Structure 1
Amino acid sequence: MKFMKSNCLEHSIGSMARVLGVSRSGYYKYLNRHKDRSVAPELTNFLQEKWLKSRKNYGFKRLFQEVKKSNLPYGARKVRKAMKHCKISGKQRKQFRPLTTNSKHGGRIAPDLVQRKFHPNEQNRIWVSDVTFIRTSFGWSYLCMILDLYSRKIVVGRFPIVMILSWYVIRY
């Protein structure tokens, strides 16, 4: 391989590979294997400085934008590699969750009729319900389910577009 590298200006790589019984791809792999693959200290210092300045918030996208703004000669792959080497990662944003419970009010609080005894002896004795908020492409929708605790089967399930107060209180 060293012979091929030193004589590549005088002879073609293909003809030398044929004579020496080596594949051309093997020669090129040999050349790439010996390239310096270390991370540039200038880049790592820059990334760490910007990352710490952002209070460890910035991830790849923003750090790469900073590299481009500063006209540093590094591409996306080098920046990712340097971030991995320095153990730099951005903080994930928490997904928005609606506040569903407001216990600090002067309104009436429903009594606990079940008294936390969730194992009834007969069917249709205790029903429980819950309302779940579901984000859709049209906005928030609400899923209301009523469950029989004895059989663990859903008695009623509704998926309305608009929240209706009468779905909260079902009397019979």
Structure 2
Amino acid sequence: MTLARPLLRLAMTTAQRLRSACWFVRRPRTFGVHAIVLTPAGRIVLVRHTYVPGWRMPSGGRRESEPPAAAILRELREEIGLSDSRPPEAIGDFEHILNHRRDHVDVYLVRDAIYRPRRSLEIEETADFALDALPDDLGGSSRRQIDAYLRAASIRPASASAAASTE
């Protein structure tokens, strides 16, 4: 491992902590978007950020006036290099309070995503996984959201679908 990766992680973690300190003082309401991104093969696309451990759903912020569907497409182009997909489907929203921030987050399902990972300061790694083989270090809230939204959208892992069709 080169020295650059640990230094980048330290710099990005420090920047995130400074932002959290500002949020503590200002207590703003922010708006965000998260996406469950599925490839044509039914695999889920996840990202690993440089400033927090573990795999996560692609996500990001949006201006209050920005339509959530436009924001998630922008974030997916930035984070995973999305080049094509079906239109995003709104599948839920939630209020999130963390580090004295109040977030309203809209969640989208993006199917048939074609992407090409890009290098960035924010995203350390992008990969797709079978729905029944999610990484062990998938963030707890991401795992809960993925499970809940996939159940609500009646999406099952390929192995579960195959087992159901043979019964």
Common fold: TM-score over 0.5: no
Q: Which has the higher strand share?
A: 2
Query: Scaled by the length of structure 2, what TM-score is found?
Result: 0.19
